[in-house]
Structures are given as C-alpha cells and as structure tokens.
Structure 1
Amino acid sequence: MFPITTNRAGFICLAFPDVCKTPTPGGEVPIPYPNVGQFSQAEQVSEDVFVGGKAVVTEASYIDPTTGDEPGTGGGVVDAGKHMDQATFEPPTSREVYVNGQRVVCMFDSTKQNGENARGTVLGGEPTVLVGGGGA
C-alpha cells in the first residue's frame, strides 16, 4: 500500500491537460492548463483520525477550488462550464484501510479535477504511520 494522504501543506493532486475555453481577441479557444489541488484545502476530511498531526483524507473528501486554469473562464471542454471546480478521488483508494467507514486516499490514487474535465494523480503521502498512543 502506498502512503496515506493527509491535509498537510505541500501535498497536491495534479491533472494535465485541463482543456478550458479561453477568451482571446478572436473568440474562445480551447487551451490545455495544469490543474492543481492543494490538500491543505481538502474538505470533509476525518475529524478524529490523524497521521503526523494532520487529518486523514478519505474517498468522501474533496478539494475546492483547484487552480491552474484561471484564464480558462469559458469553462472546461469535457465538463462544460466547469472552471476551477473541485478535485475528487476515484477508486481504487485503499481497499484495506478505512477511516470512519471510508477508504483512505493514498499517494498515486487517481483523481477527477475541474469536475469531469481532467484526470489526475495524488502526489503526496505520509511515509510512516504509527498506531497507538502514549510514550515510549
């Protein structure tokens, strides 16, 4: 199993291309942009399970907004009208580890970003998970 993802700053999910309609003097033109979701902005993360002091991200979590396609104000080509929309997590997330009844998101899991407009990958995870409490 790959490292579990948390809402730690610096962890991202990245999708390319996120093709969005972009205004130009000659009209809207489809242009590919990178689409980045910052895990520090993840919503609906675990409220009571933490790794490295940060909340665990599960299959029910999402990141909103995403960035990178700001100039594409005409919206996505695949998912019409989506602009800087959320990133969600696709199966297979972990099949072995659950937090609060939800599968955890792991490094290299797949994402949907800017709605259905772009497919991406989770880039970041906690390298070590310690189970238990108390001191040594």
Structure 2
Amino acid sequence: MKIQTMIEELKNSGVFQLDNPVYIGILPNDGEIIAGYPQAILTFDETDFNIYTFKGIRHFSFDGNVYQFKFSEIKEIELGKYNFRNPYLKISFADQKYLAFGYYLRAKNYLPQKTNIEKFIAQLSSIATEVEEY
C-alpha cells in the first residue's frame, strides 16, 4: 500500500491528528506498548506524537489502534541501526515500557518522509538532557 493511501485512510476514518506524517515499521517489541510488528504512520507536533498501526502484509488497512504519547513522558532515546544498515529509534518511558521502530529516510512516492523524520529526530534531540557519543 502506498503511504499516501495509508494517510488518506486515516483522514477518512476521522482519527488523524497532529502533523508531519512519517511511515515507520514497529520492531518486535518487548516494551509492552505495541504488540507484534505492524507497519504504522507516526504524526507529531511540539508536545505529542501518535502512532497509527495497520494490519496486513502487502495490503495494509488501519486496524483502529491509535497510540498517543507525550514528549514530556520520554525517559530515554536510543538511535541505532539493526542489520548494520537499517536505522531505528527506541523510545523508553518512565514506567519501563518502550517502543522501537525502524524508519526510512526515503519512501517511494512520499517526498515528505525525509523532512518529517528529520523534524521528529530534531524534536527528540531538543528534549535531551544528556547526549552520549560513541
């Protein structure tokens, strides 16, 4: 499914909120927030971010789940790469729960992907109180 189609499905369902949609893939997660590893759309503004999950393998459809988070509730952020090439973000919260997702800087036929993911990472960086460099 095209990313634009996923976004349109959210808008048509009436649940779409916030701005800057980004296509992400939830990683197998022990963080007790999002079960499984669905494809998703992330939206955000200055204070909040939402994740909308989709079911399916080749043809995605919105599964009705909207996960809402506040930047102020984030305890730790980890940026990394799995399989030595695919970037991911792991966001941990004070209650020991976390979510992890992979993202792409380029998405086929969706030009705002790179700009929006860079904005999201910049927003995360702006709330960081400690930065570790390796």
TM over 0.5, shorter chain = no
More helix per residue: 2
More strand per residue: 2
- When normalised by structure 1's length, the TM-score is 0.29
Name the structure, 1 or 2, with higher relative contact order (CA <8 Å, separation 6+): 1
